[in-house]
Structure 1
Amino acid sequence: MNNLKTKQIKYAATVTSLVLAYLAFGYFIDDRTNIIAIWAALAVCFTLYFIILKKYNNTFLNDYNFKLALALRFVFLFSFPLLSDDIYRFIWDGSQLLNGINPFAFTPTELINNNYTWLDVSLFEKMNSPVYYSVYPPINQLAFSVSAIPGKGNLVASIIILRLIIIAFDIGNLIIIKKLLAFYNKNPKLLFIYALNPLVIIEFAGNLHFEAVMIFFSLLSFWFLLQNRWILAAIALAFAVCAKLLPLIFLPLFIKQIGFKKSIYAGLICLVVILTLFLPLIYNINLAQNFVSSIQLYYGKFEFNGSIYQVFKQVGWSLLGYNPIAYTSKILITLTLIGFLISYLKTENILVSAFWMLFTYTICGAIVHPWYILFLITLTPFVKWRFAILWSVLICLSYYTYHTIPYQESLLLVIIEYILLFGFIAYEVCFKKLPLKKIY
């Protein structure tokens, strides 16, 4: 009895410390250039995360840990996004829509000199992409417009609305993961790999990234597919694509689950729903070209925390004296497609296939923001590999890029991140065991 009481006290102390760490992160670090404070807070959050997974992740505490996961998301409710400035574009696009202006028709730079009463110069000044048309699909735009309802000068209210939307979808993720674990007869405690992961909580509830919405509809599609409700699966996948285009890569997984003929029909249903959702915003060739041009500019101009891409880039500079991105992009696309094919052919179920497809896509990308790997964390409970958990820690090194203005990436930290990551992957593959199996 005494031991039980002691354990309860230690658990309560751990939970209290974790909540305080998130409060410090959300409300007492006022600038993302303060990298030491950011890393320190993250170190505390991850340390306590692993302690909970190892010592307090059991059937008795499942309900408490689930409530903790919810509470940690709501800790950020009134905070300002620390590690992302995308919020300014979100509210700008939403304001445009509310005032009858298509975000794919004009760039912020083209609009700023007009005397529209809704225009908020402070949003424009802090925006990271004022010369580009919007790159955000219709599901996002709908959420943006809702969050912009408070109007000019009410940024905090807009952030709270957007945060509530994202938290709602993330709670949906928890529910579907729980259902999928039961479907595969896996231990319910595996949920907390995702539910309590600090990167998940900070990037979704904290920094307001819409990958949470994409993941929700993708998981919903997987769930319907496993129930052989393939029409609903196709519709859910279309909604996922309309939150972010990436889930299109999952369409071939329908063949594995329901066969080729039904997959053709599912693909047509998915296409019709996508076109229907895009049509109110992109209804002519010029708007489509604007949307595509911004996507091409984003992926053709920017780079951040890439791995294989950085290797090609450095080799190109050494041998050719320039970055041969025109050639390396084609090589990386080829490698990605090969990885997709291997993932499809060599894996036992659609969730494992999706995991390796996402890993291939991410590892071959020139842009690997921390929130890009969160889908891997989502699927980690369903695979035997645990390297994505380590990556969620290591990728926090990339926040160093923000410590100066203008931003400057540290190639040394990128090298450290990927050497440790690939070293751990090699360890897992070669020894065929999970060094953290006692935790998970």
Structure 2
Amino acid sequence: MFYKFIKLNAQNFTFLAVLAFSFRFLFLFSIPNLSQDFYRFIWDGRMILEGFNPYLYTPESFIINGVSPVYQAQELYNGMGILNASHFTNYPPLNQLCFVIAGLFAGKSILGSTIVLRLIIIAADFGTLYFGKKLLEKLNIPVNAIFWYLLNPFIIIELTGNLHFESVMIFFLIWSLYLFQVGKWRYAAFALACSISIKLIPLIFLPLFFNWFFKTNIITHNWRSHFFELKSLFIFYSIILLISIVLFIPFYNLDFLINYAQTVALWFQDFEFNASIYYIARFIGYLLTGYNEISIIGKAIPLIIIFFVFYASFFRNNKSLKALITNMLIVLSFYYFMSTTVHPWYIATLLILSIFSNYKFPLVWSFTAILSYLAYANSNNAENLWIIGLEYTIVYGFLIWEVFTKKATKLVALNSKPEKS
């Protein structure tokens, strides 16, 4: 129905927009049932309002000592689950502000807090619609392409329904890209810093901007001619760094740095879910040693990703915005293909980037990702690796088809150029 809605109403932008947000408001008064994370969101927001630094305490540290630092502490603890409650929070400061807003307006009600959080996410989607449409117009892409993201049932269920704040992070990211396109890169740096302060994922994009600022060839031109480009790049990164520091200052503490770094590292060295290449590497590790080698593989993965980001930043064309977005899509896809943990809602960022590029495999992935939900069908959340294999066979198969189709198209275009007389 999603696909047919867009195809049959391609010229009716207003109808598709009303439809997209009508579906979102259907979830307004519901409690998420495919994610426990929102209980931790509410806990963190109420902790801050009570004067606690949420980065310094785990919920478990209070509950096991019979202490209730926030209203409905036991209900929130039971809801978030032992795994979430036993770790320090990893949500950046601007995300914490959203949690605080929920605590301010609904500090005595879990349902009330979810409504406030959901309204923030829906408001962010309005922003994505506004700036996404303007950016598509600037790039001469049909504006109805924005609905491959906004009307996608996967996005509506995972972000609006299950309260994942990728929606807000994406709003700031798209706003930033639009500001880049219209030449306001200083304001774009501000918006990108806000995106990072919702979710850390956009950090991976920062090196890609090197070639964006160096419009001339860095090898064939004298460094003196690059002075203003280098100055602009320095200012761009400085703005992002300064805003990030300012936002983290209220929570700064040596223990905070240690706790935060350890929590982020867990995603590479402890958690496993819906992975692809990592599961193959894990299988090989079992064959060779008889053990799960996640501690070793988890340390190697970041190094491989850093090397790939370096390659994409300095050896690929990022000088036009469309090329830059395409490389953002490629880099983030590579990161997820290598990761030990790929929750379905992570794909939302790939999906929004894909509508500004020629690649559509994230749209296919937004459909096949639903197969990973089968892990929730049993009490211990065990995955069926045959199902995960089916998911990624479809995704990789479509990606390979896209890559070779585009190569063939380019080859035909080159061969069809008229010879010089």
Judge which range, 150-159 or 238-247, deviates more.
150-159
Residue 424, structure 1, aligned to residue 393, structure 2: no
Q: Does structure 1 retain, via aligned residues, the 8 Å contact 2:125–2:150?
A: no
Q: Aligned residue for 2:51?
A: 100
Q: Aligned residue for 2:184?
A: 229
Q: Does structure 1 retain, via aligned residues, the 8 Å contact 2:273–2:343?
A: yes
Q: Aligned residue for 2:24?
A: 73
Deviation at 1:421, TM superposition (A): 1.1
Structure 2 counterpart SS, 1:280: helix
Instruction: Supply the AA of the counterpart residue of 1:93.
Output: D
Deviation at 1:339, TM superposition (A): 3.1
For residues 381 and 364 of structure 2, the distance between their equivalents in structure 1, rounded to whole angstroms, comes to 25
Judge which range, 69-78 or 225-234, deviates more.
225-234
Structure 2 counterpart SS, 1:276: helix
For residues 114 and 58 of structure 1, the distance between their equivalents in structure 2, rounded to whole angstroms, comes to 56
Residue 57, structure 1, aligned to residue 9, structure 2: yes
Aligned to 1:323, which of 280, 289, 292?
A: 292
| Deviation readout 1:127-176 (Å, 9 max, x if unpaired) | 13111111111111111111123556511111100000011111111111
Q: Does structure 1 retain, via aligned residues, the 8 Å contact 2:275–2:337?
A: yes
Change in 2 beyond 3 A, CA 1:74/1:347: farther
Structure 1 counterpart SS, 2:268: helix
For residues 297 and 366 of structure 1, the distance between their equivalents in structure 2, rounded to whole angstroms, comes to 10
Provide the aligned length of Structure 1 versus Structure 2.
384
Residue 162, structure 1, aligned to residue 151, structure 2: no
Deviation at 1:104, TM superposition (A): 1.1
State how 1:345-384 maps to structure 2 within 5 Å.
Answer: 345-347=315-317, 349-384=323-358
Change in 2 beyond 3 A, CA 1:310/1:239: same
For residues 182 and 416 of structure 1, the distance between their equivalents in structure 2, rounded to whole angstroms, comes to 37
Q: Aligned residue for 2:99?
A: 144
Judge which range, 157-166 or 265-274, deviates more.
265-274
Q: Aligned residue for 1:280?
A: 250
| Deviation readout 1:196-232 (Å, 9 max, x if unpaired) | 1111111111011011111111122222222222221
Q: Does structure 1 retain, via aligned residues, the 8 Å contact 2:47–2:69?
A: no
Q: Does structure 2 retain, via aligned residues, the 8 Å contact 1:107–1:132?
A: yes
Structure 2 counterpart SS, 1:136: coil
Aligned to 1:121, which of 62, 71, 74?
A: 74
For residues 374 and 193 of structure 1, the distance between their equivalents in structure 2, rounded to whole angstroms, comes to 11
Deviation at 1:100, TM superposition (A): 0.8
| Deviation readout 1:329-358 (Å, 9 max, x if unpaired) | 243223323432443333452211211111
For residues 371 and 320 of structure 1, the distance between their equivalents in structure 2, rounded to whole angstroms, comes to 33
Judge which range, 225-234 or 94-103, deviates more.
225-234
Aligned to 1:292, which of 230, 253, 261?
A: 261
Change in 2 beyond 3 A, CA 1:81/1:115: closer
Judge which range, 157-166 or 321-330, deviates more.
321-330
Q: Does structure 1 retain, via aligned residues, the 8 Å contact 2:278–2:339?
A: yes
State how 1:178-217 maps to structure 2 within 5 Å.
Answer: 178-217=133-172
Q: Aligned residue for 1:264?
A: 234
Deviation at 1:305, TM superposition (A): 0.4
State how 1:13-24 maps to structure 2 within 5 Å.
Answer: none
Q: Does structure 2 retain, via aligned residues, the 8 Å contact 1:137–1:243?
A: yes
Q: Aligned residue for 2:389?
A: 415
For residues 53 and 116 of structure 1, the distance between their equivalents in structure 2, rounded to whole angstroms, comes to 48
TM-score by length of 1: 0.83
Instruction: Supply the AA of the counterpart residue of 1:227.
Output: V
For residues 238 and 382 of structure 1, the distance between their equivalents in structure 2, rounded to whole angstroms, comes to 21
Instruction: Supply the AA of the counterpart residue of 1:205.
Output: T
Q: Aligned residue for 1:304?
A: 273
Change in 2 beyond 3 A, CA 1:231/1:341: same
Instruction: Supply the AA of the counterpart residue of 2:255.
Output: N
Q: Does structure 2 retain, via aligned residues, the 8 Å contact 1:118–1:151?
A: no
Structure 1 counterpart SS, 2:382: coil
Uncovered stretches (5+) of structure 2, i.e. residues with no partner: 215-229, 409-421
Q: Does structure 2 retain, via aligned residues, the 8 Å contact 1:95–1:151?
A: no
TM-score by length of 2: 0.87
For residues 67 and 163 of structure 2, the distance between their equivalents in structure 1, rounded to whole angstroms, comes to 29
Q: How big is the alpha-carbon RMSD for the aligned residues of Structure 1 and Structure 2?
A: 1.8
Structure 1 counterpart SS, 2:85: coil
Instruction: Supply the AA of the counterpart residue of 2:130.
Output: I
Q: Aligned residue for 1:44?
A: none
Q: Does structure 2 retain, via aligned residues, the 8 Å contact 1:82–1:207?
A: yes
| Deviation readout 1:245-296 (Å, 9 max, x if unpaired) | 1111222233222233311221112111101001101x22112212222222
Q: Aligned residue for 2:221?
A: none
Uncovered stretches (5+) of structure 1, i.e. residues with no partner: 1-47, 435-440
Q: Aligned residue for 2:226?
A: none
For residues 117 and 428 of structure 1, the distance between their equivalents in structure 2, rounded to whole angstroms, comes to 51
Deviation at 1:118, TM superposition (A): 2.4
For residues 49 and 414 of structure 1, the distance between their equivalents in structure 2, rounded to whole angstroms, comes to 24
